[in-house]
Amino acid sequence: MTVLILTCEEDVTADMVVVHLNASGVPVVRLDPADLPGAVALSGEYVHGAFRGHLQSAGRLVSISGLRSIWVRRPGTPATRAPDPSDWLTEESSQALYGMLRGSDARWMNHPDAARRARHKPWQLRLAQRCGLPVPATLITSFPQAAREFAERYPDLVVKPVSGAHPQDPPRAVPTSRVAPDTDFSAVAFGPTLLQRRVAKRADIRLTVVGERMLAARKTAGEADEVDVRFASPDVPWQATEVPPRVATAVAAYLRGAELAYGAFDFAEDADGTWWFLECNQSGQFGFVEVETGQPIARAVADWLASPGTEPSSHVNGASGTVR
Amino acid sequence: MQPFALNYARPAVELEATTPYVYDTGLQLNVTMDGRIAAGDSALLRELGTTTSTAGSKTHFDD
């Protein structure tokens, strides 16, 4: 049985996992959907009540029924490297590839439906609340007056993108940033805005969860104005830390509810030691944590991908779904 | 008419256009110019920042 990895060629974090799978003798096919059609080819037939499908990439041919797991890491958009790309061809290629794969019995890390839903940060906040994780007071609004009133109640605020995405025209980064007390909120009317009470943190926490395995890393916070750890000084290292039992229980519930096999949680640890939920990235990077802490995250991913599947899951409000 | 959050935007810092490794379709791994597996070189990965949480932000939502 083969592990299928969907990612771009330059993804060295995926390499870290491939190395472990190779060492274990687990067959791997790695491809980028951007190369379909072209370097990647597929075929599937539905005849006499059965399905037979195959994928080919770089001389490797794999049966879709022979897949044990599918890891959706950093895949390109289907057909974007085709000789004559178009939106139509992208949709055709996407439907063919992911449509066939959705019909397989392979386990997913993570299933596209669960992944798509899990990217919604407002949904994340609500699920975290339901699972008992502390969530900082948050407002998402396009009403300037609502923003002003929220700022009166919580004078120490940060702002961050609702989607987590960065604008590309021109390319800009929008880090989580402090909002000054005398800020003019008029521009809130021009786009939904996420305001959140700033947690006076003494550390950032990155909790990487692979299946049921939890690996937490902690980074001592720097200056109060640098609230976004992604843009903080690299001089302070990440260090492995323990997961408080209550957090572990709530995080496990979160992943069950989200139907995710992998999640990278960001928390802010306050002076009391409370871990405040900020977000869960369903495909969050882990290489930098492993490089700094030595935690065996890539091995954990490889072990999960290589292990036999358990019961089929519902994937977003299916018949036996647990998520409302 | 600029959305509020963009008042806090910074110019994006682009990663180096070239990396000292190249994808080997046979190995399904990136290898350095002297033939070593890039993923096995922690110092190289740390230096390049290709595994950090901002590395994939340009094209992916998930950090």
Residue B59 inside a domain? The answer is no
Domain coordinates in residue numbering, chain A: 2-109, 116-122+125-132+199-293, 137-197
Contacting residues of B for A172, CB less than 8 Å apart: 6, 9-12
Residue B63 inside a domain? The answer is no
**Number of domains within chain B:** 1
Across chain B, mean pLDDT equals: 79
A231–B54 CB contact, under 8 Å: yes
Give the list of residues 6+ apart from residue A260 with CB closer than 8 angstroms, or none. Answer: A110, A114, A115, A118, A280, A282
A283–B60 CB contact, under 8 Å: yes
Contact A124, A85 (CB under 8 A): no
ipTM > 0.90?
Answer: no
pLDDT at res. B17: 57
- Kindly state the helix (H) or strand (E) to which residue A301 belongs, with its residue range: helix A297-306
Q: What angle do CA A119, A125, A128 make, to 5 degrees?
A: 105
A9–B55 CB contact, under 8 Å: no
Average pLDDT over residues A307-322: 58
Say if residue B60's pLDDT is above 80: no
C-alpha distance from residue A206 to each of A37, A159, A217, A220, A286 (Å): 38, 20, 5, 12, 9
Distance CA A234, CA B55 (A): 14
CATH 3.30.420 corresponds to the domain A2-109: no
Residue B56 inside a domain? The answer is no
Percent of chain A with pLDDT over 70: 92
What fold characterizes domain A137-197? Dna Ligase; domain 1 (3.30.1490)
B63–A230 CB contact, under 8 Å: yes
Report pTM. Answer: 0.91
Residue among B7, B11, B56 minimizing CB distance to A74: B56
How does pLDDT run across A196-250, given as a tens digit for each residue?
999 999 999 999 999 999 999 999 997 766 677 666 666 788 999 999 999 999 9
Chain A residues 10-29 with a CB less than 8 Å from chain B = 10, 12-13, 15-16, 18-19, 28-29
Residue B22 inside a domain? The answer is yes
Residue A19 backbone dihedrals phi, psi, to 5 degrees: -55, -45
Distance CA A58, CA A55 (A): 10
How does pLDDT run across A23-72, given as a tens digit for each residue?
999 999 999 999 999 999 999 999 999 999 999 999 999 999 999 999 99
How does pLDDT run across A270-281, given as a tens digit for each residue?
999 999 999 999
Across chain A, mean pLDDT equals: 93
DSSP string for residues in A169-199: TTBEE---EEE-TT---GGGGGS-EEEEEPP
Domain, as residue range, for B42:
4-48
Residue B62 inside a domain? The answer is no
Q: Indicate which of B22, B50, B61 best probes the interface with A, i.e. most A CBs within 10 Å of its own CB.
A: B61
- Kindly state the helix (H) or strand (E) to which residue A279 belongs, with its residue range: strand A275-281
CATH code for the part of the protein at A116-122+125-132+199-293:
3.30.470.20
A15–B38 CB contact, under 8 Å: yes
